[in-house]
Amino acid sequence: MTNGMHEVAVMSSILEAVREELRKHHVLKVEEVLLVVGEMTFLGADQLNFAFEVLTKGTDLEGSSLFIEKEEVEVSCPSCQYRGQAAYHEDEMYHSHIPTLNCPVCGKRVEIIKGKSCMVRSIKVVEDDVQA
């Protein structure tokens, strides 16, 4: 179980990045923030949504919506040159699939090339009429 503290920390730096972006434009209001969250970050969507709500309350971003898109893990194998989806390990306790670091083809250790990061893909805003 996670108490969501990690998500709060992650969300707080995401919001900083969003505001950084907003400063470059004449933005009246932010409508949507689309986040891409890699499977390997183990960040919970519910916790992220909760953190977003808490952290934007009473700020310039209050009332905007958060959308989360999950990014699957993609791996690359230095031994057999396999590149693609990771092998999954079934976790009986949590009833979930967890990506493993073993190559689905040869079983050797792979490198993760996708699915490790959490980033803002797009921000939908209402812009000021004044064109810069």
Cβ closest to Zn ion, residue 48 vs residue 77: 77
Cβ closest to Zn ion, residue 50 vs residue 82: 82
Phi, psi (degrees; rounded to nearest 5) at 51: -60, -40
- Binding residues (CB under 5 A) for Zn ion: these are 77, 79-80, 82, 103, 105-106
Shortest Å, Cβ 113 to Zn ion: 13
Shortest Å, Cβ 110 to Zn ion: 7
* Alpha carbon separation from 91 to 26, 40, 54, 83, 97 (Å, rounded): 48, 15, 31, 24, 6
Shortest Å, Cβ 106 to Zn ion: 3
Q: Say how far apart CA 10 and CA 14 lie, in whole Å.
A: 6
Cβ closest to Zn ion, residue 37 vs residue 77: 77
Contact at 8 Å (CB) between 115 and 73? yes
Cβ closest to Zn ion, residue 109 vs residue 116: 109
